[in-house]
């Protein structure tokens, strides 16, 4: 994790000092902005490896900031949310956040989340450098692109990774906890609503196909269901 640049946007100076201290101990470099507009300027200038983004900030809040980031970047974003702000958490995930963490939090938990997200986005193994092809659907994990019915889809990183993982294991059922572990690379800290939100967004963008679809297995989880003659 050494030499990774983390951009922290939070208007609470005390929290920023604590986070910076712990991240620098891990060998990371930290840039701090106390408002969204300044944070976006730093984002364009510095090209960070990951963004820690507080939702509640003066002026431009975190929701607006992530909207701007996702217009042309897939850099990992972890949202910092106040305890109990369920609506904000769901909205953040729908807008493309890779994860969220609720204040107050333990520094060790934050570091674990950051490492998991960076590890997932940077260390794609050689066997994953492939393109999955189904009728009307092509997913490239190497290029982070999805083509559906001949059109390129704009998917946030975690939506794409979830789709790729499920499509890599056609007709196999995974629990929400397994998906958190496999795609987000954590289980203890995970919230099953994370999976539900991402599946909902994928279904909205992909619609129904005659050959394949993401199916809910009630009481268990999800699977990428494919007609048997289309499974390689």
| Of 181, 109, 87, 94, residue with least CA distance to 77 | 94
Name the class of domain 126-230. mainly alpha
At residue 138, the pLDDT reads: 93
In sequence order, what DSSP letters do the residues of 59-105 get, joined into one string?
Answer: SS-HHHHHHHHTTT----EEEEEETT-HHHHHHHHHTT-SEEEEES-
> CA-to-CA distance for 92 and 103, rounded, in angstroms?
15
What 8-state DSSP symbol labels residue 53? E
Query: Who wins on pLDDT, 8 or 94?
Result: 8
User: 45-93, pLDDT tens digit by residue?
Assistant: 988 999 999 998 888 999 999 999 988 888 899 999 876 666 677 777 8
Q: For the chain, what percent of residues have pLDDT higher than 70? A: 88
Domain ranges of the chain: 5-122, 126-230
Q: pTM value? A: 0.66
Rounded to an integer, the average pLDDT of 199-203 is: 93
Residue 71 sits at φ, ψ, to 5 deg, of -65, -30
CATH number of 5-122: 3.40.50.2300
């Amino acid at each position: 994790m050494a030499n990774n640049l983390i951009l922290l946007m939070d208007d609470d100076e005390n929290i920023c000092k604590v986070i910076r201290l712990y991240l620098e101990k891990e060998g990371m470099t930290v840039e701090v902005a106390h408002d969204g507009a300044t944070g976006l300027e730093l984002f364009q200038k510095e090209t960070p490896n990951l963004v820690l983004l507080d939702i509640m900030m003066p002026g431009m809040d975190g929701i607006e900031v992530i909207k701007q980031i996702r217009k042309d970047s897939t850099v990992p974003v972890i949202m910092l949310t106040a305890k109990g702000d369920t609506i904000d958490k769901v909205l953040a995930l729908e807008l493309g956040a890779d994860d969220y963490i609720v204040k107050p939090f333990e520094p060790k938990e934050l570091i674990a989340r950051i490492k998991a997200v960076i590890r997932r986005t940077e260390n794609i193994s050689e066997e994953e450098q492939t393109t999955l092809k189904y009728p009307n659907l092509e997913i490239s994990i190497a290029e982070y692109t999805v083509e559906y019915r001949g059109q390129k889809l704009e998917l946030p990183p975690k939506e794409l990774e979830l789709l790729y993982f499920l499509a890599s294991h056609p007709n196999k059922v995974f629990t929400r906890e397994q998906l958190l572990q496999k795609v987000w690379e954590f289980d203890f800290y995970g919230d099953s609503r994370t999976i539900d939100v991402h599946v909902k967004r994928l279904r909205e963008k992909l619609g129904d196909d005659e050959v394949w679809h993401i199916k809910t297995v009630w009481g268990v989880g999800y699977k990428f269901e494919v007609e048997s003659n289309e499974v390689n």
